[in-house]
Structure 1
């Protein structure tokens, strides 16, 4: 059945300007890190992407090695760009990244010009696209000069293979250097993609200030802590969860302590008082004060996307609520 996007897809979504650029991103973007690979149900992936777009989520975020197997998430999106989303390409922001291990040998990871150029060429072929909207250096490379990595990003924009460039997992100091280098090259840094959630607030210690001072946007990954900031773990660790099966590098069964679960329970009680689910409150919290451009959600089923989008119905926090959240997290 031919897909036709919902006519009201832009009515409920909130869009934020990305730093000083002209690009608007949805307050919630969809990440294809998990559940969109070659081992996953193609029809479920299709249903999630269709529903996300129908709800106004115009940004799909990938990386070269997303799957499994690596590259298969981009192949899946490529198939859907051809069959479902071809008429809507100009309404979509597609991003991908390179930096982590992708292929064997000395040119298959990190931040050399050789790797970044080759990786994006491969990504474009897998997705059947002429360009991506945002291309990221996925992590800083301790062995390659930062100037080489930034020059490669600049070259890809000048070649027309990417419209904008971003960085991910860079420290405040590294970000500051990258911003200056890219400005000097004439390709301003659009966005930084850091990990950020109620349980991981490292970006508040300098990075947010660097980005705001330089007009750079931010998109937070893992805002729900791989499911910990949802109702999934309120009654124990489900046998099919990522934590139980060690499917996540960020969340393990050993890491879900009684102390952490107690915090989750208290946060859940506050969310109920606000008329939200815990996931909705956690997303609203990441977006508070307007310092974060977009929160990057993942999903394994359509209903999760629908629940998360409802977070936008209640983004405001009282000073008392924010103080209470800080108290809960500091215990």
Structure 2
């Protein structure tokens, strides 16, 4: 029977989510990859156990994570029932709806039908009574934001979510839906955007809105699908994600186009006594609006390496200027 590490809270950093009362672990575990029906269940358990032992309290799901879609939630639910149930109140568990989950016109986007049905399905798959955070995974161009907001608000009022969030919304879209949440008094607290050294568009678009509204962000793709690690410093491994032509998010051309920049960033990381991945995670956390950074893992020991980023979160002005120079900012 799993027994959590008694010292799990000693070294983890916990950051407040905007002006809310909620705090998140500075690093969060994303279950997008490596937690589906095709992945080792025992390895999934080992990763989740290690994450919690390191003080990671936020676990991030979505209805369609797999493959097959839904299997990440099912596997997570089995692990919760077998090992983690005694620790449920120490965990922040999130899921989302918005990307395609089932056939027909109701299996994606942001209608009341999709949001409510998706949340109910996700609760059933995970075996949970409620989610701590439930997100609209992407804005729906054909559904009024008021309808999406009312659906998320209903989940809170029915006790199926404690807080709500949005993901992949622009700054203007975030401002618009925030007004509706404010009128409804919905506990909307968080946005989940893509953010890393190679993708900084939200600095001028989203961050000012979050700051003005007292909201926070939890960033995904913080290591740029592995580009901001030592994975590709000496070429493209045959077993890497970039080498697999099936990956729509990273391919060999991207590696080749960024390798010179990555090597320069790696030198800055070395001068800080960090790996490139550690520095990239710390760099994201330098932003006051970011409450947590999502990380993925295919092995438990990768989490130990990522948590080392918290040992050196501070950056000098010279280091930040050097990074901007390398990135052409």
- Could you state the TM-score of these two structures normalised by the residue count of structure 1? 0.98
Aligned counterparts, 1:152-163, within 5 A: 152-163=151-162
8 Å contact kept, 1:179–1:188: no
Residue matched to 2:255: 256
How much does 1:205 deviate?
Answer: 1.4
How much does 1:217 deviate?
Answer: 1.0
Q: Distance in 1 between matches of 2:287 and 2:300?
A: 28
8 Å contact kept, 2:18–2:289: no
Residue 167 of structure 2 is aligned to residue 168 of structure 1: yes
Residue matched to 1:97: 96
Residue 243 of structure 2 is aligned to residue 244 of structure 1: yes
Residue matched to 1:59: 58
Residue matched to 1:18: 17
Q: Deviations over 1:48-97 (max 9, x none)?
A: 10000000000100000001000000001000100010100000000000
Residue matched to 1:191: 190
Aligned counterparts, 1:1-331, within 5 A: 2-258=1-257, 260-330=258-328
8 Å contact kept, 2:146–2:180: yes
CA RMSD of aligned residues (A): 0.9
How much does 1:290 deviate?
Answer: 2.4
Distance 1:244 1:109, change over 3 A: same
Unaligned runs of at least 5 residues, structure 2:
none
Distance 1:62 1:22, change over 3 A: same
Q: Distance in 1 between matches of 2:287 and 2:139?
A: 28
8 Å contact kept, 2:210–2:289: no
- Could you state the TM-score of these two structures normalised by the residue count of structure 2? 0.99
8 Å contact kept, 1:111–1:144: yes
Q: Distance in 1 between matches of 2:150 and 2:247?
A: 33
8 Å contact kept, 2:220–2:295: yes
How much does 1:310 deviate?
Answer: 0.6
Q: Distance in 1 between matches of 2:114 and 2:98?
A: 8
Q: Distance in 2 between matches of 1:213 and 1:59?
A: 25
Q: How many residues align?
A: 329
Equivalent residue of 1:290, what SS? coil
How much does 1:247 deviate?
Answer: 4.4
How much does 1:189 deviate?
Answer: 1.6
Q: Distance in 1 between matches of 2:48 and 2:268?
A: 31
Equivalent residue of 1:163, what SS? strand
